Structure 1
């Protein structure tokens, strides 16, 4: 078992350090930009930085890697408004993204959240993976404030912004999924055959109950563990062939039924 986790630690180290590159091409109409980079994973998130002077810079956009060309060593990023430090009481500049601006990726990947079905699985994984774990009690508290006993992708994104947490690890059917918390794109899937003899919904935490809103998405109590998190993964990774095969071959009928949601070509 330790051998499995040592392999996983080596894989995790690929995501631990921030990555920086300059914009070499820009499409302002489609909010995309191209960067030169030796290797990058589709789905990694970050932001675009404009350097006003050698001593001053400003974050202009959030961004996510949309594609990577292994032959040209270039990646295409998709940009959107950066809202993390938004403050209407402060003046904002009128700078626009230009060629030469910096793209900073994986800036919060040293901090992680673990979604596990029970305490034993949580203990095994958290003790074996070297990262700064943000305790799931904090995420459960946010869900309770939002009235979401069933976590939504938006809840993970809000948690990422409020705690500067970049990765979420999700344990499902003896596999551990490494997921960018903002884009919810899968960065890695690792075989992690731990014994799972119980499930705590919506995930292991020390909170006995998460408050629910009167209505709205996420306000219903979660009925089953694997189907919900697989559904979140499928919704945001419809072209992932590895996930497709895992879902297709799942012995859980609620999980295998999600296979029709993929957009996998012939």
Structure 2
């Protein structure tokens, strides 16, 4: 019985609660466009960054990675972490023992909720850096986007340094990693409003373009299910 109990405990995620914890490890091996981590991230689909030490206390983020296997295999991504026209692109190759931070910026979260009450309950229950959906609504309007997608959420997250998208669906909540496009956590929710604000909770009465215009029609829960 003790062995069974121990195995059950070992099978549990390495983080407590709903939110995967930011974790630090290092590069163990390099295999073409993949790296093997000394210690795996808590969950597959979790993204992270590789930090190279140049000596003299100089460090820089050189790559993004996404864990694809619980054995610690992570895929190197061909994308810039922060784009700036006046800064050079870092071309440092990944080297063994480079530092890896899993769940980079996971404390910065955009919450898409069905109404103000749900939004307030969730944000007051967790000490996170909550990015208000007003910013996302403005972003979509400026970009001429009709509805939330994984693609425009990823672009918004990159622009605003957001690590996770918390999405309230019909009977559940999910955490979307915008870099990998994968869900990294899910849990059931109760006492959600039957009729939700459309497009999603924000403080603006309306925005005069696209999805947020006076003529916008739809269903919040159906829209969130498509993400």
- Bin the TM-score by the shorter chain: 0.7 to 0.9
- The Cα of 1:34 is off from its aligned counterpart by 0.5
Three-state SS of the structure 2 residue aligned to 1:67 is coil
CA distance in 2, matches of 1:169, 1:134: 11
Q: Determine the structure 2 residue equivalent to 1:11.
A: 17
Matched, 1:199 2:196: yes
Q: Could you give the per-residue CA deviations for residues 177-198 of structure 1, whole angstroms, max 9, x where no partner exists?
A: 1222322311221122023132
- The Cα of 1:123 is off from its aligned counterpart by 2.1
Quick check: which one's helix share is greater? Answer: 1
- Identify which of 177, 190, 210 aligns with 1:212: 210
CA distance in 2, matches of 1:137, 1:179: 19
Matched, 1:61 2:89: no
8 A Cα contact 1:149 1:210, kept in partner? no
Matched, 1:167 2:164: yes
- Identify which of 201, 206, 219 aligns with 1:224: 219
CA distance in 2, matches of 1:43, 1:222: 33
Three-state SS of the structure 2 residue aligned to 1:68 is coil
8 A Cα contact 2:62 2:91, kept in partner? no
8 A Cα contact 2:28 2:97, kept in partner? yes
Unaligned runs of 5+ in 1: 1-8, 70-74, 214-220, 233-266
- The Cα of 1:45 is off from its aligned counterpart by 1.1
Q: Cα gap change, 1:200/1:57 in structure 2, threshold over 3 Å: closer, same or farther? A: same
Q: How does 1:94-113 map to 2 (within 5 A)?
A: 94-113=91-110
Matched, 1:84 2:89: no
Q: Determine the structure 1 residue equivalent to 2:151.
A: 154
Number of equivalences: 209
Q: Cα gap change, 1:147/1:125 in structure 2, threshold over 3 Å: closer, same or farther? A: same
Q: Determine the structure 2 residue equivalent to 1:25.
A: 29
8 A Cα contact 2:170 2:192, kept in partner? no
- Identify which of 125, 135, 138 aligns with 2:135: 138
Q: Could you give the per-residue CA deviations for residues 172-227 of structure 1, whole angstroms, max 9, x where no partner exists?
A: 122111222322311221122023132222211122136239xxxxxxx5633223
Q: Determine the structure 1 residue equivalent to 2:7.
A: none
8 A Cα contact 2:63 2:81, kept in partner? no
TM-score by structure 2 length? 0.82
8 A Cα contact 1:149 1:211, kept in partner? no
- Identify which of 115, 122, 127 aligns with 1:125: 122
- The Cα of 1:170 is off from its aligned counterpart by 0.9
- The Cα of 1:103 is off from its aligned counterpart by 1.6
Q: Cα gap change, 1:172/1:159 in structure 2, threshold over 3 Å: closer, same or farther? A: same
Unaligned runs of 5+ in 2: 1-14
Q: Determine the structure 1 residue equivalent to 2:173.
A: 176
TM-score by structure 1 length? 0.70
Query: After TM superposition, which residue ranges in structure 1, 4 or more long, deviate above 4 angstroms?
Result: none
CA distance in 2, matches of 1:209, 1:87: 29
Q: Cα gap change, 1:84/1:205 in structure 2, threshold over 3 Å: closer, same or farther? A: same
